[in-house]
Amino acid sequence: MSNSQNYECINYSTSDRIARITLNRPEKRNALSRQLRDEFVSALHVAERDDSVVAILVDGEGPSFCSGYDITPDMSGRVPDGGWVSEKLFDAWTDQFARSCVRDWMTIWDILKPVIAMVHGHCLAGGTELMSMCDIAFVADDAQIGYPPMRGQTTPDVMYFPWKLSMAHAKYLQLTGNVISGKQAAEWGWVAKSFSADVLEEQTLRELRALTSIAPDLLAANKLAINQSYEIMGMRTALNTGPQWHALSSQLRPNAGEFTKISKEKGLKAALDWRDAPFKAEGL
């Protein structure tokens, strides 16, 4: 096993033709900071360039795969110094944060090697965007997967729901923000397979060992052929409308900003209670 890069927010290693990228902020449930995303994208390109790597495995350190984007006050500097593109001309109205999310996760889509997610614990909000853009996802039966911010904040940064689920399930999950189990996600076709948590890694690696016996150039051809079919159907264009709806729902919607206001005045926990309490009261 080798570790070819020095990262702070991820672990990167290679073994048996597999590059493993582990989200490594367990104290934050692997919340997606800007630094973590930059390191993740860098590691994807490192793995793509490594001829000894056939497939890429993505997992999370600690009790959860990923809790979503880091929205804690100390991580509120979403706009880098000088702006994402141009602070004066673009940042305030084009939602460069959401645009950066689409760009980062489309890296998974565009690289030539298959990317496989292994999901345990919580996989929420931005974490589901990462998982859903992976080529294959294996999850624990008891994993908790969903997008609660739909209840009181914005539309998704990456509009993957219509492409990963039936219309009935896509509308149910995006309109309610409800969370479902990994087992149910597999039954609904959101992910490829689910396994009991105690054998998730064993079964995932079993699948990967078989997958990596296929020539990487053939895997690339099959991935590109499938992706091109979805792009002909309009997937890339549809995903690029996500930042527009994210901007409208976060800035121009009459009730926009309530979650942020409560969070600033009373703390993040109070804002989460405001958003989720009615659903918890119904046992959802």
The pLDDT value recorded for residue 74 is 54
Q: Which fold has domain 10-253?
A: 2-enoyl-CoA Hydratase; Chain A, domain 1 (3.90.226)
The pLDDT value recorded for residue 1 is 42
Tokens 């590059």, residue located:
19
Residue 280, Cβ density class (10 Å: 0-12 exposed, 13-18 middle, ≥19 buried): exposed
| Angle 24-63-170 from CA coordinates, rounded to 5° | 95
Tens place of pLDDT per residue across the chain (284 aa): 445 568 999 999 999 999 999 999 999 999 999 999 999 999 999 999 999 999 999 999 999 999 999 977 555 446 666 667 777 788 778 888 899 999 999 999 999 999 999 999 999 999 999 999 999 999 999 999 999 999 999 999 999 999 999 999 999 999 999 999 999 999 999 999 999 999 999 999 999 999 999 999 999 999 999 999 999 999 999 999 999 999 899 888 999 989 989 988 999 899 999 999 999 999 98
* Beta-bridge partners for 116: 57, 136
In sequence order, what DSSP letters do the residues of 155-177 get, joined into one string?
S-SS--HHHHS-HHHHHHHHHH-
DSSP code for 28 = G
Secondary structure class of 252 (helix, strand, coil): helix
The pLDDT value recorded for residue 81 is 66
Answer yes or no: are the C-beta atoms of 245 and 155 closer than 8 Å. Answer: yes
